[in-house]
Structure 1
Amino acid sequence: MNVIKVGMADLNIAKSPDRIRTTGLGSCVGVVLFDNQNKIGGMAHVMLPDSSLSKGILNTAKYANTAIPKLIEDMEKAGANRRKLTAKLAGGAQMFAFSIASDAMRIGPRNVEACKLALNEARIPILAEDTGGNCGRTIELDSCTGILNIRTVNQGVKEL
């Protein structure tokens, strides 16, 4: 069994028996897709809600509206069935308190909303989520079982 690491603004896939992990989810959202029939998991570490914010060369893994379609495409190439995919979300914390309630400062909640919108457009059901709050998270998906382990700073480990 290998542990495949996903960096910030990155995405990757894992086939059973491997695991896939990302660290440092603050306002970023970890989007996990899983095909239980074919035992293929995918993960995207989404930093920002929309690629219209991009300046210069577009990193598709960085934005919710481009990372999720790319992850689906990569999983299908690896043998996943699009109609069998389910999703889990983690992250999207509000890491800093701001005295001004500017929408631009709500990166975490906006990331969660954008990921949900992209998953809805792809017709992929969200089975579970651990989003919001103000603590960082590390997540790891077991591609055999589809269980997502979430380690939250000062709050221990939970399974989704």
Structure 2
Amino acid sequence: MKKRIKQVGMAQYAVGWGDDVLRTLGLGSCVGVCLYDLQVNVGGLVHIMLPEMALYQDKSTEAKYADTGIKLLVGEMERLGARQERLLSKLAGGAQMFSFPGQSEVMRIGERNVLASRRVLQELGIPIVAEHTGGNFGRTIEFACTGGELEVRTIGHGTFVI
């Protein structure tokens, strides 16, 4: 069977099954949260831009925020037969792309996105089995719905499979 590649844009999510591969390009401070259920070969990817919906006025898309996007993805995966208690997760992204002297915590979006994603996953009881986060470089990721393999291609720092 030929694999299907589904593109996941900023503030979007997608689910897949079987040989589907979910791809998101250009993760800087954004975080790609990948969830999968090995028993039914269902996987999902959400491209998180910001940590919490309540902190921002733009409420146009729930997938944009860690606190709402991850829950949205879990619900969509459950419609395809996944079960929350069987889900595993992998994270990539959350870089600090720009640095300024005297920079406040508000400007550390990448770190805040990673922390918010970890918190939501912990609240939902979904273990994080691997992550490739932080640094000051961008990433492109491809996530295999069967097996949960996550390929992380970095800009200038190599390719990793987690």
> After superposition, what is the alpha-carbon deviation per residue over 1:13-33, rounded to whole angstroms, capped at 9, x for unaligned?
010111101011000000000
Where in structure 1 do 4 or more consecutive aligned residues deviate above 2 Å?
none
Which residue of structure 1 lines up, in the alignment, with residue 30 of structure 2?
28
Which residue of structure 2 lines up, in the alignment, with residue 78 of structure 1?
80
- Supply the distance in 1 between the matched residues of 2:49 and 2:59 (Cα, whole angstroms): 15
- Supply the distance in 1 between the matched residues of 2:83 and 2:55 (Cα, whole angstroms): 31
Aligned residue pairs, count: 160
For the Cα contact (< 8 Å) 1:27–1:108, is it kept in 2?
Answer: yes
1:90 alignment partner AA:
A
Query: Normalization by structure 1: what TM-score?
Result: 0.97
Which residue of structure 2 lines up, in the alignment, with residue 131 of structure 1?
133
CA gap of 1:56–1:138, structure 2 versus 1, over 3 A, is closer
1:53 alignment partner AA:
L
- Supply the distance in 2 between the matched residues of 1:73 and 1:50 (Cα, whole angstroms): 18
For the Cα contact (< 8 Å) 1:18–1:142, is it kept in 2?
Answer: yes
Which residue of structure 2 lines up, in the alignment, with residue 67 of structure 1?
69
Alignment of 1:100-119 (within 5 A): 100-119=102-121
1:13 alignment partner AA:
V
- Supply the distance in 2 between the matched residues of 1:59 and 1:95 (Cα, whole angstroms): 24
1:33 alignment partner AA:
L
The answer to whether residue 37 in structure 2 is matched with residue 46 in structure 1 is no
Shift of 1:56: 4.6
For the Cα contact (< 8 Å) 2:53–2:59, is it kept in 1?
Answer: no
Unaligned runs of 5+ in 2: none
Unaligned runs of 5+ in 1: none
Which of these residues, 77, 83, 99, is aligned with residue 97 of structure 1?
A: 99
- Supply the distance in 1 between the matched residues of 2:120 and 2:63 (Cα, whole angstroms): 13
- Supply the distance in 1 between the matched residues of 2:13 and 2:55 (Cα, whole angstroms): 19
The alignment partner of 1:130 has SS state of strand
For the Cα contact (< 8 Å) 1:51–1:58, is it kept in 2?
Answer: no
- Supply the distance in 2 between the matched residues of 1:59 and 1:48 (Cα, whole angstroms): 11
